[in-house]
Chains A and B, each alone.
Chain A
Amino acid sequence: MSRAIRIAAGQGFWGDWLEAPWRQVTGGAIDYLMMDYLAEVTMSIMQKQMSRDPQLGYAKDFVPLMERLLPELVRRRVKVTTNAGGVNPRACAEAVAQVARRLGLAGKLTIGVVSGDDLLGRLDQLLAAGHALANLDTGRPLREVRDRLQSVNAYLGAAPIVEALGRGADIVITGRVTDTGLTLGPMMHEFGWAADAWDLLAAGTVAGHTIECGAQCSGGNCLVDWQHIPDLANVGYPIVEAYADGTFEITKHAGTGGRISVAGVTEQLVYEMGDPGSYITPDCVADFTTIELRQRGKDRVRFSGIRGRPATDSLKVSAAYFYGFKAVGTLVYAWPDALQKARAADRVLRQRLSDLGLEFETILTEFVGVDATHGPLAVRDLEPRDVPEVQLRVGVRSPHRDPVERFTREIAPLILNGPPSVTGFAGGRPKPEEIVAYWPALLAKTEVQACVDLVRV
């Protein structure tokens, strides 16, 4: 069997454990460090930040993280693939380059920048040419929210990462590239997989899906036998050991906590799953019903048998648009009759909002401790008089700021003029929050050209 390459997951989302990438790089031999920063909602957060400062719009934490990692990465010749670039990969790369120069790494590092995913500048042209960019969930055409759009990005695949690595990049910083492409890209580059080797591309895609959420496949957020998963305080993040024939194993560094088992890995495989027979990426269509898993030793699961089909001729597009405002207020009610008191407070609050003539798109009440996670399913199994405490949690949403702002002033008065045994208002008045919503669509691949630039440090 040919040499394996080792791709280690360092971040599963923007805000993941800062120690994980350091431990992945220094805890044993790896070839690549893969860091996924972008969830559907993340792009809209970055968009907000760039609208305040044109030098931002990427995962800011990535820069100080690289400051810590760069000397080790260079010394150990570990390459990095990451979509930390968010809506501004160029600014992210420049910030990393600046840090690298300060560390005395000038001449020792090449950063690849993948862009071309940003469609906002060309949007009117695309719409005029007949691309409706209809919402995949609702079918509505994108022009309905045209004047409220804040970003429009296509999901790029592994190809531009392969190009960047082929041109000598040590660190590849991308905008909206699929999570799976960050893992598939290094495999295609190292093994020379063809762009139409569908089974191999599907295998790399499944590997990417397995590790894209970091420790979620190595013991974190794992329900099966969770009480006995060892040493989560030192949880080991996953590593793919990939072979040229498309088989791979998921493992982690020796001496780390967590667990890699068939059952735990299966939980991650079904996470955010749609039709498992057609897992569609820009690179291929992977068939998750062909995956064969086998425990190959402690903390080591082998994947084989994965089949894929040709990629579709469209790319997924993610648009972010201004939707309105929301706010959430909370109060805590104590025994006896905690739930009844919270319910009474909710009725009082709703009547006051109504008497003020405030109109909302939605008012949502949850009783945390009773029904916030499992709704009526949990209430059925409950003895309401025994509940020791309940958090009343009321959220409102409106296209307009004013009613939401007024709502935030109606929570605190309930402490003195509503039902008794109430506490938990230390956080102060809730703040109205702008809602930037997500609009998924499809666009013909021929309309999108990925772009790879190199920044030599």
Chain B
Amino acid sequence: MRRSRPRVKTVRRKQTVRLVDLAHARSGDKGDTANVGLIARRAADYPVLVRHVTAARVARHFKGMIAGPVERFELPNLRALNFLLHGALDGGGTISLKTDAQGKVFSTALLRMEIEVDR
């Protein structure tokens, strides 16, 4: 007869956090590329950003808003990540018809992103 065992379940408690609560940001343009610098508010949050806010994740977040790929660069000294969003500005500069032709508020659009972090 099989002995019944108490079922031990490791519950990894996850919490959904919006980037706006962990980071601040500023964005600008170079031609048709918008850049978003994402800066951890606290030093302890920088590794969280590095782990969760990947180039692939950011590309998914902006799906339908940008035509090209996303690149990511790390600046641990400034606890910041820099993202290049290619094909984000309808041609950019003088060509673009967008209100945000120079990508000034892509920064806060990134801060809408939600990530699942360990509690």
Contact = CB atoms under 8 A, between A and B. Distances in A.
Contacts of B57: none
Contact of B29 (A136, A272, A437): A272
Nearest to A225: B24
Contacts of A133: none
A359 B25 CA distance: 39
Contacts of B80: 266, 269-270
B107 A437 contact: no
A362 B99 contact: no
Interface in A253-309: 263, 266-277, 288-293
A440 B30 CA distance: 10
Interface in B26-57: 26-33, 35, 37, 39, 41
Contacts of A223: 24-26, 107-108
Interface string B42-85: 00000000000000000001101100000001111111101010
Contacts of B105: 373-374
B78 A293 contact: yes
Contact of B35 (A274, A374, A436, A440): A274
Given A40-B93, A41-B94, A223-B107, A274 B29 contact: no
Q: Which of A266, A372, A436, A438 has the most CB of B within 10 A?
A: A266
Given A267-B37, A272-B35, A274-B35, A372 B99 contact: yes
A263 B32 CA distance: 27
B interface bracket (residues with beta carbon within 8 Å of A): 35 or more
A393 B62 CA distance: 21
Interface in A355-372: 362, 364, 366, 368, 372
Given A368-B99, A372-B99, A438-B94, A277 B73 contact: yes
B73 A374 contact: no
B90 A364 contact: yes
A176 interface: no
Q: By CB atoms of chain A within 10 A, which of B65, B90, B95 has the most?
A: B95
Contact of B24 (A263, A277, A288, A397): A263
Interface in A366-408: 366, 368, 372-378, 381, 393, 395-397
A326 interface: yes
A272 B95 CA distance: 18
A436 B94 contact: yes
Interface string A161-172: 000000000000
Given A223-B25, A267-B26, A376 B109 contact: no
Nearest to B76: A289
Q: Secondary structure of the A side of the interface?
A: mixed
B81 to A, nearest CB: 9
Contact of B26 (A268, A288, A375): A268
Contacts, number: 134
Q: Is the interface of B mostly helix, strand, loop or mixed?
A: mixed
A397 B97 CA distance: 8
Contacts of A292: 77
A381 B112 CA distance: 10
Nearest to B103: A272
A272 B62 CA distance: 19
A368 B98 CA distance: 11
B108 A364 contact: no
A215 to B, nearest CB: 13
B103 to A, nearest CB: 9
Contact of A438 (B27, B31, B41): B31
A435 B28 CA distance: 21
A366 B24 contact: no
A374 B30 contact: no
B100 interface: yes
Given A263-B39, A266-B39, A438-B31, A393 B99 contact: yes
A328 B82 CA distance: 32
Contact of B65 (A41, A272, A376, A396): A376
Residue from B25, B29, B84, B94 whose CB has the most chain A CB atoms within 10 Å: B94
A364 B28 contact: no
B69 to A, nearest CB: 13
Given A263-B24, A273-B82, A289 B29 contact: no
Nearest to B82: A273
A373 to B, nearest CB: 5
Q: List the 9 closest pairs (A to B, CB-CB), nearest first.
A: A270-B37, A395-B97, A272-B28, A364-B97, A267-B26, A224-B24, A372-B99, A374-B109, A375-B65
28 contacts: A137-B32, A223-B25, A223-B26, A224-B24, A267-B25, A270-B39, A270-B75, A270-B78, A270-B80, A270-B82, A272-B28, A272-B29, A273-B37, A274-B84, A277-B73, A289-B76, A293-B77, A323-B94, A323-B95, A326-B95, A328-B97, A366-B99, A373-B105, A374-B109, A375-B64, A377-B109, A381-B112, A437-B95
